[in-house]
Chains A and B, each alone.
Chain A
Amino acid sequence: MTVELAGLTLASPLLVASGCGGTGRELVPYLGEQGLAALGGFVTRSITLDARAGGPAPRLVETPSGLLHATGLPNPGIDLFLATELPWLARQDTRVVVSVAGRTIGEYAELARRLGRSPGLAAIEVNVDALETGSGEPFQAGSVVAAVKRDLPRGLPVLVKIRPDLVRVVETVRVVLEAGADAVVVGTAQPAALPDGRPAGLSGPAVRPLALRCVTEVCAAFPDAQVVGGGGIATAADARSFLAAGAVAVQVGAALLHDPTTAARLAADLTQETVR
């Protein structure tokens, strides 16, 4: 079951969500013979300009039907990522989507410039929630997307990941589409807090109904937009409900941490659906 997303043909409507697939290598043992090629695409953990060690423990805390996470975006920085991780991913016969995160609009623009010169990636996913100031503000998300689009030297599709916050999601999608986003990913973590009060994201089945509602609203408001849905998807039935709401593809994230074979099973199940 191939799908078209932002001008790309994906082998499956199922992508691995940012931050839940390690570097890609760790997921391979659980994907069967096809490896990452079994999936529609692999979204990397968010890559920043400079290396980040990540935050203190605990970084992930269990909450009923969910995981709270405050990882601090550990990653090797764009230079080491391009040298050591992207070349391997590019050989895996899957669509590689590089998630980018910056403290400032300038950092996003610089990341776009570096990535735009690199072979092997299919698209960029902009994690707009990482901004130091104005994170969650629709106009800031629009400014980030405009900067990324402006500095991309070639026509790489830009996906923008947006919080499933019902109050603002439609407005944010409008702004980022106007700024040039080729597709939106509705379903990043819900803003939450760890028991010790540190800001965190909440992911997992606990947020699924909220994310589904947001995807439904976005698809209704922008019938021509390319929408990727996500948030707590753990079964093929979950994935189908997002597709039925109008999403062209879905991302699976937290479920992989509970059962790393989830991506392969869902991809196979969604493919069988169309064969029947």
Chain B
Amino acid sequence: MTVTTGERAGAVHASGELLDTKRIGAFRHLTVVAPGVPERFRPGNFVAVSVGDSSFLARRSYWVHRVRPVGGYGATVQLVVDPNGVGGAWLASLPAGSRIEVTGPLGRPFALPKEPVSCLLVGEGYSAAPLFPLAERLRERGCAVTMVVAGADEAHLLSSLEARRSVRAVTVVTADGSVGQKGRVAGVIEEALARSQAEVVYAAGPHDTLHAVAAAAEAHGAWSQTAVEVPQPCATGLCHGCPVPVVGEDGVARVARACSDGPVLRGDRVRWGDLG
């Protein structure tokens, strides 16, 4: 059983058009026409967006939730935006038809298993977005896919309905118990791993969730692929401003760039205690 490193795709910088924007729970789902981006996309890639007010120089990174053809426009990318902070609030408030500067697809995507093995996908909040296209890709390869979708409450949970098409079983967990099991990912990961007999675990969410998943996977002898989320000032590998402490293949402690060495990193290679 081998899981190779995800290959980076070539990225493009495009002047995109916001085709559609809708509120889903606490998040905003945006459909963006950005020529060249969807064609190169692989699950785990993200896009960087420039804030319209150019006095904000840092880019804002968003997971790609879906790549879909839309009649007359070719392929589009769909992003999930948490409408918090300067960038998120601005992007969430844009009307359809707005122009946005988009760079992507960026970063190393999820590495796929070479054999059709059992996979467990664990996502929390808006960060679960990249797991949905991943589930489709894994199913195409004949992998048995099980999913854990978590959030603070029902409003902060990405819909698991669509996932049920591609996956064998979905466990829903909310911190307040408003839907599914009440609890956190850390509380259900052991059972999910045992039940799925997963050989590869894919996770996207806050650091403490990723840490818990990576530790549980290691204890079960499974590979883990974690999508690490830190602020990425340039998102393109130029500025070295998104450090992630890791351990190299040689056992030596190093610092990786989340945007270009990641965002998907092997869970057993991240020094979670130093990530903060």
Q: Which of A26-69 contact B (CB under 8 A)?
A: 26-27, 29-30, 45, 53-54, 56-60, 62, 64-67, 69
In the assembled complex, A196 has its CB within 8 A of some CB on chain B: no
Chain A: which residue is nearest B11 at the CB level?
A: A29
Given contacts A53-B255, A60-B241, contact A260 B57 (CB under 8 A): no
Q: Are A67 and B57 in contact (CB under 8 A)?
A: yes
List residues 222-273 of chain B with CB under 8 A from any CB of chain A. Answer: 230-231, 233-234, 236-243, 253-255, 260
In Å, the complex CA distance between A67 and B107 comes to 22
Which of B12, B56, B103, B237: most chain A CB closer than 10 A? Answer: B237
Contact B50 A60 (CB under 8 A): no
A117 to chain B: closest CB distance in Å? 27
Which residues of chain A are near B254, meaning CB under 8 Å? Answer: 53
Known: A54-B243, A259-B101. A22 touches B58 (CB 8 A): no
* Contact present for A29 and B10 (CB under 8 Å): yes
Quick check: B239 and A260 within 8 Å, CB to CB? no
Q: Do B57 and A22 touch across chains, with their CB atoms under 8 A apart?
A: no
User: Which B residues are CB-close (under 8 A) to A67?
Assistant: 57-58, 233
Considering only residues 242-259 of chain A, those with a C-beta below 8 Å from chain B are: 254, 256-259
Verify if B71 is at the interface (C-beta below 8 Å from A): no
Which among B56, B57, B58, B233 has the highest number of chain A CB atoms within 10 Å? B57
Contact B58 A60 (CB under 8 A): yes
Q: Could you count the A-B residue pairs with CB atoms below 8 Å apart for me: how many are there?
A: 96
> Across the interface, do A258 and B54 meet the contact criterion of CB distance under 8 Å?
yes
* B59, CB-defined interface residue at 8 Å: yes
Chain B residues lying within 8 Å of A170, measured Cβ to Cβ, are none
Q: Is B72 an interface residue (CB 8 A)?
A: no
Residue A143 at the chain B interface, CB threshold 8 Å:
no
A65 B57 Cβ-Cβ under 8 A: yes
Which A residues are CB-close (under 8 A) to B243? 54, 56-57, 59, 74
Please state if B13 and A69 are interface contacts (CB–CB under 8 Å): no
Q: Is the interface of A mostly helix, strand, loop or mixed?
A: loop
Once the chains are docked, how many angstroms separate the CA of A64 from the CA of B238?
21
What is the interface residue range for chain A against chain B? 20 to 34
Distance between A50 CB and nearest chain B CB, rounded to angstroms: 14
Residue of B nearest to A66 (CB): B57
Say yes or no: B234 contacts A54, CB within 8 Å: no
- Nearest Cβ on chain A to B37's Cβ, whole angstroms: 12
Question: Is the Cβ of A69 less than 8 Å from the Cβ of B55?
Answer: no
Chain B residues whose CB sits within 8 angstroms of the CB of A26 once the complex forms: 236-238, 260
Whole-angstrom distance between the alpha carbons of A30 and B12 in the complex?
7
Neighbouring A residues of B240 by C-beta, 8 Å:
19, 22, 45, 54, 59, 71, 74
Q: Which of B54, B58, B234, B276 contacts A57 (CB 8 A)?
A: B276
CB pair B12–A257 under 8 Å, yes or no, is no
Query: Pick the contact of B13 from A71, A74, A260 — CB < 8 Å?
Result: A260
Please tell me if the beta carbons of B55 and A29 are within 8 angstroms of each other in the complex: no
Nearest A residue to B253 by beta-carbon distance? A53
Which of B231, B241, B276 lies in contact with A69, CB distance below 8 A?
B241
Best-surrounded residue of A19, A62, A69, A71 (most CB of chain B within 10 A): A62
Query: Residues of B within 8 Å of A, CB-based: how many?
Result: 30
**Bound form: Cα–Cα A57–B237 in Å:** 15
With A29-B11, A53-B255, A261-B13 known as contacts, the answer to whether A256 contacts B238 (CB < 8 A) is yes
CB < 8 Å neighbour of A22 from B55, B231, B238 = B238
* B238 in contact with A20 (CB, 8 Å): yes
Contact with B along A159-188 (1 / 0, CB 8 A): 000000000000000000000000000000
B234 near A256: Cβ-Cβ < 8 Å = yes
A229 interface residue (CB < 8 Å to B): no
**Contact in complex: B239, A20 (CB < 8 Å):** yes
Are B57 and A258 in touch, CB under 8 angstroms? yes
CB of A204 within 8 Å of the partner chain = yes
A138 within 8 A of B: no
Known: A29-B11, A74-B240. A54 touches B57 (CB 8 A): no
Mark A204-221 against chain B: 1 for CB-CB distance below 8 A, else 0.
Answer: 110000000000000000
**Complex formed: what's the CA distance from A19 to B276 in Å?**
25
Residues of B with C-beta under 8 A to A20: 238-239
How far is it, in angstroms, between the C-alpha of A66 and the C-alpha of B101 when the chains are bound? 19
Nearest chain A CB to B228 CB, angstrom units:
12
Contact of B237 among A22, A58, A259, A261 (CB under 8 A): A22
**Do A62 and B57 touch (CB < 8 A)?**
yes
* A residues with CB within 8 A of B: 19-22, 26-27, 29-30, 45, 53-54, 56-60, 62, 64-67, 69, 71, 74, 204-205, 254, 256-261
Q: List 15 contacting pairs A-B, 8 Å CB cutoff, sorted by A.
A: A20-B239, A22-B240, A26-B238, A27-B236, A57-B231, A57-B242, A62-B56, A62-B58, A66-B57, A67-B233, A71-B239, A254-B57, A257-B59, A257-B239, A260-B13
Chain B contact residues, CB within 8 Å of chain A: 10-13, 50, 54-59, 101, 103, 230-231, 233-234, 236-243, 253-255, 260, 276
Give 9 new A-B contacts, CB below 8 A, not counting A22-B237, A57-B242, A204-B57. A22-B239, A26-B236, A26-B260, A53-B253, A60-B58, A65-B55, A67-B57, A74-B240, A205-B55
